[in-house]
Amino acid sequence: MPAQRPGNTLAAGHSGVTGETVSALPTVEVPDRPAPARPEEPREVHVGEPLPKRRRYGGETYFKSLTTVGGSAVLAIIAAIALFLIIEAVPALSANKENFFTFTKWSPNALNDAHFGIASLAFGTILSAAIALLVAVPIALGIALYLSHYAHRRVATILGFAIDLLAAVPSVVFGLWGREFFAVPVQDLSIWLNKYLGWFPLFASDGRFGHSVLLGSLVLAIMILPIVTSLSREVFMQTPREHEEAAMALGATKWEVIRTAVLPYGRPGIVASVMLGLGRALGETIALAMTLGSSFVISWSVVEPGGNTIAANIANAFGEANDQGRSALIASGLVLFAITLIVNMTARAIVRRRKRFLAAATT
């Protein structure tokens, strides 16, 4: 028999049983509990008495409104940001003499003669984020699998801690390191890539190497590595033991267990972690402002000096921008906002489709 505490009439009140049945439950007084807060309200059900009334303004109601307010605040903030971006962007956009979406240069400051467009910045943003993902995701998944399935527990703990530390390094430090130190080996790598794979557009160069998209992307890759690693590691560790054992009992090797049980189970989580990394890569500002060459051309070459992103350009150009220039930068921010929104929604759609397959499986 469950001991009914004073104040806990919920079970009795909601079970819909008659008063007699309820009173058959023993009412055990728990001494260390304070007496009911409002003694005028009936706390216990006695034979023949009506069931206690539902309380209209209990803690339940307050807590519910508190969470509702919290939830709607998120929506309100997002709407406010979008509204701010749109309103602030309109003056520059209407003064712009060029097509904002196709023009590649950025000179928005001259009154009555503003020429700016998002094309090269958006291209650079997506290119550098894509390369960063291409480099970081396989490595991150490899580390995550090593940590979750291969490494000795103590090694895994230490290494996991180190990875989390990597996530804690401020991006300006990454930028400095990338600019002053990492640039040298990346330049050597660029020369090597150009020498042997120069026929491939990404590695073409007119002989100059330096603060290139490759440098920025590799720094970005290091920055998103910890996010993708720790999230996918969590997902891999949640693989149900029974699925792994099912694969093992069929004679699967470790890698085959990972392929048949761990990766399929973790796929939605992997997608989510990659998308989070992508979000970080798209929005990363200062590290890229410091490592990229800040050019305004659409070029597929990642080894030549150059490259720029929306966020890096905002950081670089904000200081010398006048009101109109700022308005133009805000317009570029609006585009970045839209890109990240699309990325996030795509990620959610992918995860949801997967969920629907699993949900269909269990009904």
Q: How far is the CB of 232 from another protein (least distance, A)?
A: 16
What span, in angstroms and rounded, lies between the C-alpha atoms of 224 and 166?
9
Which x/- pattern, by CB under 8 A, does the window 341-360 give for another protein?
----------------xx-x
User: What is the 3 state secondary structure string of the chain?
Assistant: CCCECCCCCHHHHHHCCCHHHHHCCCECCCCCCCCCCCCCCCCCCCCCCCCCCCCCCCHHHHHHHHHHHHHHHHHHHHHHHHHHHHHHHHHHHHHECCCCCCCCCEECCCCCCEEECCHHHHHHHHHHHHHHHHHHHHHHHHHHHHHHHHCCHHHHHHHHHHHHHHHHCCHHHHHHHHHHHHHHHHHHHHHHHHHHHCCCHHHCCCCCCCCEHHHHHHHHHHHHHHHHHHHHHHHHHCCCHHHHHHHHHCCCCHHHHHHHHHHHHHHHHHHHHHHHHHHHHHHCCHHHHHHCCCCCCCCCCCCCECCCCHHHHHHHHCCCCCHHHHHHHHHHHHHHHHHHHHHHHHHHHHHHHHHHHHHHHHC
Nearer to another protein, 111 or 249 (CB): 249
Residue 1 binds to another protein (criterion: CB under 8 A): no
Which residues are registered as beta bridge partners of 115? Answer: 107
Q: Binder to another protein among 76, 256, 338, 346 (CB under 8 A)?
A: 256
The reply to whether 130 sits near another protein by the rule CB under 8 A is no
Q: How many residues bind another protein, per CB under 8 A?
A: 24
Q: How far is the CB of 258 from another protein (least distance, A)?
A: 12
Q: Does 245 bind another protein (CB under 8 A)?
A: yes
Smallest separation (angstroms) from another protein to the CB of 242: 4
Q: Which lies closer to another protein via its Cβ, residue 101 or residue 255?
A: 255
Which of residues 27, 267, 276, 315 is near another protein by CB under 8 A?
267
| Binding window for another protein (CB under 8 A); candidates: 73-81, 254-262, 280-288, 295-303 | 254-262
Q: Smallest gap, in angstroms, from Cβ of residue 361 to another protein?
A: 4
Question: What are phi and psi for residue 79, nearest 5 degrees?
Answer: -60, -40
Our finding on whether 86 is near another protein (CB under 8 A) is no
Cβ proximity to another protein: between 106 and 236 the closer is 236
The answer to whether 152 contacts another protein (rule: CB under 8 A) is no
Which of 253, 300, 338, 355 touches another protein by CB under 8 A?
A: 253
Exactly one of 1, 74, 168, 249 binds another protein (CB under 8 A); that residue is 249
Among residues 264, 318, 341, 355, the one that binds another protein under rule CB under 8 A: 264
For residues 11 to 40, the per-residue mask of contacts with another protein, x marking binding by CB under 8 A and - elsewhere, is: ------------------------------
Q: Is 262 in the site for another protein (CB under 8 A)?
A: no
Contact positions vs another protein (CB under 8 A): 240, 242-243, 245-253, 256, 260-261, 264-265, 267, 357-358, 360-363
